[in-house]
Amino acid sequence: MNILEKALEKALRSEGITPGEAREFAALPDSALCDILSVTDRVRRHHRGMEVNLCSIVNAKSGLCREDCSFCAQSAQYSTGAPAYPMDSAAALIGAAENAALNGAREFSIVTSGTRVEKEGDVAVLEAALAAMKERVGVERCASLGILRRGVLMRLKDAGLQSYHHNLETSRSFFPNICTTHAYGEDVEAVRTAKSLGLFVCSGGIFGLGETWDDRIELASTLDGLGVDSVPVNFLNPRPGTPLEHGSNLTPVECLKIIALLRLMLPAKDIVVCGGRGVNLRDLQPLIFAAGANGMMIGNYLTTPGRDAKDDLQMIKDLGLRPRGL
Ligand code: SF4
């Protein structure tokens, strides 16, 4: 039995491939793409059906971050020209959520730069925005606010937060190459805290940082071990002024293989393609679903524009898929 046959058999009984099998998968040549997609499409349909999760974000507090993540335009350590502003008002966040719902998003996430949100005034704004969204906006309420302290996360959950997003970004082994200002273990702990509070947890990473396939496999194993519910997948879009500004984009086929790897290692989870989709996948964007993704971000990313939400909705319809409702 070859690796794809083995992966399909395991995935259909909700079992992911092992790291050893994943290395065998990673070694498949680009010419095997159609064979890979025929398997991952079947696995996605088996576990996640024909519905696509659409999520949207607002950059609620931008720039001025004291961390040094080498891919990020929001670090204060680099001159990137990215917008820098303090926490938006609750009214602005609610307006952004309403707009996301109009664009067809099912999940809406409030995202802030920085290690964590901890100022009382900022937490109070988030509580007010979440409570109002719960009352009058038809979206699932998510937030990405860094390595949040448990007490703050509990307050936000009480106000209406349903999901928490915190990416591990890459493998523990490769992490020191992309961030030196905090430890990987702190990110893992943030994910554990959110899980322990019963929140739906989205945690994934960014690919194209110079990591190897072994790093990608290690990251997927860590996410599996943490029991995350959804895996956001970002591809590097090199930002001027960051240490990775001269990084080259991945090929579209490599991006599709990364999505496929995640689907085969975490067969029953949500896999959501987020930042860097357009510049890395170009005309192969519609193939993300055959590769195993069952969700994508629509609208703008944190510091770069996304394509028109209408084009994404049309793409989904043309593929015979449909946005997942609430
Ligand atoms: S990824 Fe987050 S923590 Fe890292 S520099 Fe950017 S805003 Fe700061």
CATH number, position 263: 3.20.20.70
Query: Is 191 touching ligand 1 by the criterion CB < 6 Å?
Result: no
Ligand 1 centre distance from Cα of residue 271 (Å): 22
Q: What are the contacts of 43-49 at 24+ separation with CB within 8 A?
A: 43/7, 43/8, 43/11, 43/12, 43/263, 43/264, 43/267, 43/292, 44/263, 44/289, 44/290, 44/292, 44/293, 44/294, 46/11, 46/12, 47/11, 47/14, 47/267, 47/268, 48/268, 48/270, 48/294, 49/294
**pLDDT-above-70 percentage for the chain:** 98
In a domain, 234, yes or no: yes
Handedness of CA 304, 305, 309, 310 (dihedral sign): negative
In a domain, 4, yes or no: no
In a domain, 10, yes or no: no
Q: With 0-12 CB in 10 A as exposed, 13-18 as middle and 19+ as buried, what is 315?
A: middle
Query: Is 72 touching ligand 1 by the criterion CB < 6 Å?
Result: yes
In a domain, 9, yes or no: no
Q: Rounded CA gap, 153 and 164, in Å? A: 9
Residue 303 has a pLDDT of 66
Query: Is 69 touching ligand 1 by the criterion CB < 6 Å?
Result: yes
Ligand 1 atom having least distance to the Cα of 73 = 6
Ligand 1 atom having least distance to the Cα of 72 = 6
Pocket test for ligand 1, best of 69, 77, 112, 209 (most atoms within 8 A of CB): 69
Residues 124-177: tens digit of each pLDDT: 999 999 999 999 998 999 999 999 999 999 999 999 999 999 999 999 999 999
Confidence of residue 326 (pLDDT cuts 50, 70, 90): low
In a domain, 2, yes or no: no
Residues 174-226: tens digit of each pLDDT: 999 999 999 999 999 999 999 999 999 999 999 999 999 999 999 999 999 99
Whether residue 308 is predicted with pLDDT greater than 90 in this model: the reply is: no
Pocket test for ligand 1, best of 72, 165, 182 (most atoms within 8 A of CB): 72
Whether residue 291 is predicted with pLDDT greater than 80 in this model: the reply is: yes
Give me the number of domains the chain comprises. Answer: 1
Domain region containing 276: 17-323
In a domain, 6, yes or no: no
Residues 35-89: tens digit of each pLDDT: 999 999 999 999 999 999 999 889 999 998 999 999 998 899 998 888 899 999 9
Pocket test for ligand 1, best of 57, 59, 61, 65 (most atoms within 8 A of CB): 65
Ligand 1 atom having least distance to the Cα of 63 = 7
Query: Is 242 touching ligand 1 by the criterion CB < 6 Å?
Result: no
In a domain, 117, yes or no: yes
